[in-house]
Chain A
């Protein structure tokens, strides 16, 4: 039995291809983290199809979260949801679920920034306090650190995201996204068998980086058929990961922080982890990686960030709960960090 005075937050995540529901206590215990992923038959995420999947999966995922914890909807204190950034149709589906729950239960609604939730769950799970964070996923590639009331972006991609770059290449190479084996993981397995470096562009511009040229060069090399696929996967990873590691090291040297956190879906990649571990050690910083279950998009991170926001005075009235497709992290107040 859980103590009767415990307070719970339910978080809804639906920015892209995953629909997730998490339940967190106000003390930072994650009780549930249920999800259902949309797997396209071919190509990337079709926003409308993904939203349809979310609408169909919502009740099952919610039920799974409640059943697993034994918590009843009436035990909840607040509902948090991913308000942005992300794909419009997907965000709106999750927001609708969250608004419905909050109005029905007559409890506060809290809109959460998806990127900040990735950072906060990483901190909660690893005990990191004030890290330089590399957040890499299918939609995001950024180096952030907290300074003066906001998470500041110290470096980011000028074009496509790292996960996107790897996924598109993997699809071009004929790899398939299967349940339990995302494209990035399939690519990582192939890369581990490669070892010959194919010359590809390396584009670091100040603290920022560009990945679209690397992707084009890698797919062109693929079509030319003059390299082994394993070597191309290896070279693409080595180039792309070296670039993000270089900008992370720059932010680390610049901010002089003593912690490095790796979060987001691509954080599961072992090779990327090993590169960041090297720079952390060189700068006497502690390195941590978000655990796998919290690496990809998930409801638990939304629930936990909702707790942080709500307990520091943030509430999102229903008539202001419209989704924000391009909500940058520097625009978000983080009163829990003051």
Chain B
């Protein structure tokens, strides 16, 4: 990657590291999946290759669905590295606790709309947390990090995706997790309609009951 002059580590995540750098005069993010020493090399390579190849494809699919995602410039399979547009904005995770209630509800509604658009095109994000959503100054909600995503038409996959969103809200924004999720679902319904929203909500309930030690399961036992 000789074109890259200097780079700054933006984020060292568990799954990949993000570097902010310049590439042919553009500000870009390079997402590198470094080998994980805890896994056998063979398994590790399989996982990293799979995620590196699939992530740009899913981001492209998301664009077709009308959901803003960073533009992909380069995919380097040998180094499991993806060069993409640097999206300027604020992480929803940082934002959610600091904005007034009304704005927060609106933002969650917009997030729900984006998820609805994705699911309407059979794209499952796979890691819907508020750290993977960026609000730009123009008010667009970008979704990033599709590394755990997939194309899937099943209701089950949609349910798990939204269940993860709910769980992420509960573990990170527990003070208003319920309110946020309700608004996410309102936005979701606005895009996919009453029927789809209802069936996915039923599915989420089913997934939750399936989980370990959930009080709701008692009624059926």
Q: Which residues of A contact B (CB under 8 A)?
A: 84-85, 139-141, 147-148, 152-154, 156-159, 161, 197, 199, 202, 204-208, 238-239, 242, 245-246, 249-250, 252-254, 274-276, 278-279, 282, 325-328, 330
B160 within 8 A of A: yes
Q: Is B99 an interface residue (CB 8 A)?
A: no
B2 close to A (CB within 8 Å): no
B43, A156: Cβ atoms closer than 8 Å: no
A206 touches B218 (CB 8 A): no
* Residues of chain B contacted by A326 (CB below 8 angstroms): 212-215, 217-218
Interface CB pairs A-B, < 8 A, 29: A152-B171, A156-B211, A158-B160, A158-B207, A199-B46, A205-B126, A205-B127, A205-B148, A206-B126, A206-B128, A206-B164, A206-B168, A207-B167, A207-B168, A239-B43, A245-B39, A246-B15, A246-B36, A249-B14, A250-B15, A253-B12, A254-B131, A275-B38, A278-B37, A278-B38, A279-B14, A326-B218, A327-B213, A328-B213
Give Cα A147–Cα B129 distance, bound, in whole angstroms.
Answer: 17
Hey, which chain A residues are within 8 Å of B43, CB to CB?
197, 202, 238-239, 242
Kindly report which residue of chain A lies nearest to residue B215, judged by CB atoms.
A326
- Any A CB within 8 A of the CB of B42: yes
Complex Cα–Cα for A161 and B14 (A): 23
Contacts of B164 in A (CB 8 A): 205-208
Looking at the assembled complex, report how far the CB atom of A154 sits from the nearest CB atom of chain B, in whole angstroms. Answer: 6
Q: Is the interface of A mostly helix, strand, loop or mixed?
A: mixed
> A205: which B residues are within 8 A, CB to CB?
126-127, 148, 160, 164
The distance from the CB of B31 to the nearest CB of chain A, in whole angstroms, is 14
| In the bound complex, CA of A265 to CA of B175 (Å) | 33
- Contacts A205-B126, A250-B13 aside, 9 further interface pairs with beta carbons under 8 A come to A139-B212, A152-B174, A158-B160, A158-B210, A199-B46, A206-B126, A253-B13, A253-B14, A328-B214
Are A238's CB and B47's CB within 8 A? no
With both beta carbons as reference points, the residue of chain B lying nearest to A152 in the complex is identified as B171
Interface contact A245-B129, CB-CB below 8 Å:
no
Docked-complex contact B212 and A252, CB < 8 angstroms: no
The answer for the CA separation of A153 and B15 in the assembled complex, in Å, is 19
10 nearest A-B pairs in the assembled complex, by CB-CB distance: A326-B213, A249-B14, A275-B38, A206-B164, A250-B14, A85-B213, A278-B38, A253-B14, A242-B39, A206-B127
Cβ distance A75 to chain B, nearest Cβ, rounded Å: 35
B14, chain A: closest CB distance, angstroms: 4
- How many angstroms from the CA of A199 to the CA of B47 in the assembled complex? 11
CA distance A246 to B147 in the complex (A): 13
